[in-house]
Structure 1
């Protein structure tokens, strides 16, 4: 089993990574970091820069946690990719970061976090920065 964290380089992503690292250490499980850009996008702000990945790897090593970083592009919705990777890695828990959105914003734009929370067949730990 593993701990899976959905990560984007934002304050919400940083909060999710910190919580996931703590959870992986507590459970004695490896941590899978999913940082997946949309396939075909020429540039993506969702991709963690190399130096950020290096720093996260160092933090994991210092905590005694094995870290696997996945940055393979995805097609479709990111929520589907998170759920697919959770199944593939037999994740014991999914960790995601939440941002504040109005009810109207959720209605118009949808919410990947909401989809993960509702559709996951395993526990989801949702954190705020």
Structure 2
């Protein structure tokens, strides 16, 4: 069994990761941590330095979780990367973060969570990310 989580740095990323870890433990599954960026200037803020990803992997492994890490610096989209990985490993669950966005934000950037929810080959867990509004 495999749980996939889309990971990005920061408080929101840690919140989503915590949800994925909880699900992996409950299911007795391994965790595949995916960090992806399209390579654009805006998107690169989500790309985690390899050393930081390894530190996260080691932290979770030390806690008894089987963890693998994959990183894609020039993906077609973050959503497509998560969907492709879910298909590749026959994932049981994909965990993504979900936050409120403006109509303009949705139009310009699309919705990673929505695309994954609609197209993933397995169940999807959306972790709500609080906003300051």
Using structure 2 for the length normalisation, give the TM-score.
0.82
Structure 2: unaligned runs, 5 residues or longer: none
Q: Using CA pairs below 8 Å that are at least 6 residues apart, which structure has the higher relative contact order?
A: 1
Q: For the structure 1 residues 56 and 75, does the alpha-carbon distance in structure 2 shift closer, same or farther, using more than 3 Å as the test?
A: closer
Aligned to 1:34: 34
CA RMSD of aligned residues (A): 2.2
CA distance in 1, matches of 2:75, 2:55: 28
Write out per-residue CA displacement over residues 41-78 of structure 1, whole angstroms, 9 at most, x where no aligned residue.
Answer: 7x922222355324422431243211101113343122
User: Does 2:99 match 1:99?
Assistant: yes
Structure 1: unaligned runs, 5 residues or longer: none
Deviation of 1:100 after TM superposition, in Å, equals 1.8
CA distance in 1, matches of 2:2, 2:55: 20
Q: For the structure 1 residues 52 and 99, does the alpha-carbon distance in structure 2 shift closer, same or farther, using more than 3 Å as the test?
A: farther
User: Does 2:68 match 1:68?
Assistant: yes
CA contact under 8 A between 2:4 and 2:95: conserved in structure 1? yes
